[in-house]
Chains A and B, each alone.
Chain A
Amino acid sequence: MSRPDKFIIDGKRLDGRLPDQLRPIKIEVDVLKRADGSCYIEMGKNKVVAAVYGPREAFPRHIQDPSKVVVRYRYNMAPFSVEERKRPGPDRRSIEISKVSKEAFEAVIMKELFPRSVVDIFVEVLQADAGSRTACINAASVALVDAGIPMKGMLTSVAVAKVDGVLVLDPMKEEDNFGEADMPFAFLIRGGKIESVALLQMDGRMTRTEIKEALNLAKKGAMEIYNLQREAIMKQFVEGGEENA
């Protein structure tokens, strides 16, 4: 892959999207039988599976917290998920993503209800295009709801990038690799409104006004994703109703 000369031609991006348009999203709930909650998501070319186990007894015992549940989050990329084979196992990048994502989820899970236990969240990236951490958070959020874990609300995540001086929503690989800045967000959505920011990272440079603009752009995208997340969860119950009709 080489750097394209121009990212935006006639107001349209390399893949034909407008700057404030998301990639196509597909969400499936309850895809894994053994997990307490699971979700498969496609955000553009990203393909991610999330599995949630728990609350369950925490082992090894020393990680138990007598006052609240422990959250474990594992972000992992499959060796075949990128163009050049990735060495399997955790590396600096995936450990960092796991940590920040875990902290985002710790803010929404009602931890004090299950002392001494652990909630395990596993997300596996099967195919990566830019923004895999946002896809992972969206998938994990749906899987947590599917597992019936008490939460304050739902997390929805989306990134904003800057290419050719223009802010673009949900960047794809070229925009992420060769853009001027990339900023993933995760929001806590409650009562149909964005309540707070649960995760914010940035790489590259943006001005203060651009950051404000990026936030608004991300909020708009997040609401669209939130509605898709909801729809996916609700769908399993509608189908169940039709089966016996």
Chain B
Amino acid sequence: MRKIVLPGDLLASNPKLAGYGTYVEGDKVYARIIGIYEQTDNSIRVIPLKGKYNPSAGDTIIGIVREVISNGWNVDINSPYQAFLPVSENPEAKPGKKLNEVLDIGDAIIAKVMSIDPRMRVTITMKDKICRAIRFGRIVAINPARVPRVIGKKGSMIKLIKSELDVQIVVGQNGLIWLNGDRKKVAIAEEVIYIIEEEAHTDGLTDRVGEFIRRRKNVQT
């Protein structure tokens, strides 16, 4: 069982080790969020177990259009901040085409975070090959802090689900996951994702998930 730390727990007395989820005060490193303690040779970090999505540049996210304005779209990205998608960053927008015909309120999109200014104004882009408007499939929402477990170490978990179930999956860093493929298999994948979310803090999860998928597949065939 890995060690879970709470805000204010003393982690180390070498400020050079301080990594994500920690803060330094008076030469001491403390945890600042609830999470799993992880120590490597040159850093200490706390992997969050709870919390909202905090956007950072380069993240792949799934958002929902909330507002169409003259020069772009305001997109809800499941974080404390709304993101802005300028017209120039959406390759589907062509001159002469109305903005609400390209993307309308309620449409879901896969996008990337382009930049964040110090006042936390988030700009997103769709100029990437995985970015697109979502017109089919299913979107599953989980706690954004559990996203790293859904992806797994170097993508191991997501690869497992993809190869076992043969479904298309795009994991947004903001906790929204898009699934597409055979209906029954998508249903299993959704269940699997909820299991991962529920048990994110436990060990040996990938093996258990693999076993679960195989068992579910046998029941159905």
Contact = CB atoms under 8 A, between A and B. Distances in A.
Interface of A: 36-37, 54-57, 66, 108, 110, 113-117, 145-154, 188-192, 230, 233-234, 237, 240-241, 243-244
Given A116-B119, A237-B201, A240-B199, A150 B80 contact: no
A240 B49 CA distance: 13
Given A56-B80, A116-B80, 6 more contacts: A57-B81, A147-B50, A152-B25, A234-B4, A240-B199, A241-B199
A221 B66 CA distance: 49
Contacts of A189: 8
Contact of B6 (A115, A117, A145): A145
Nearest to A67: B119
Interface string B109-151: 0000000001110000000000000000000000001000000
- Main secondary structure, interface of B, reads loop
List 3 A-B pairs, minimum CB-CB distance, nearest first.
A148-B51, A153-B8, A148-B50
Contacts of A66: 119
Contact of B81 (A116, A149, A192): A116
Given A57-B80, A147-B51, A148-B50, A154 B10 contact: no
Contacts of B10: 190-192
Interface stretch (B27-35, B154-162, B175-183, B184-192): B27-35
B52 interface: yes
Nearest to B49: A148
Contacts of B9: 191-192
B50 A55 contact: no
8 contacts: A148-B48, A150-B7, A152-B8, A230-B6, A233-B6, A233-B34, A237-B49, A244-B202
Nearest to B121: A116
B80 A37 contact: no
Nearest to A113: B54
A115 B120 contact: yes
Contact of A191 (B8, B34, B120, B201): B8
Given A153-B30, A190-B30, A36 B52 contact: yes
Contacts of A188: 8
A153 B31 CA distance: 8
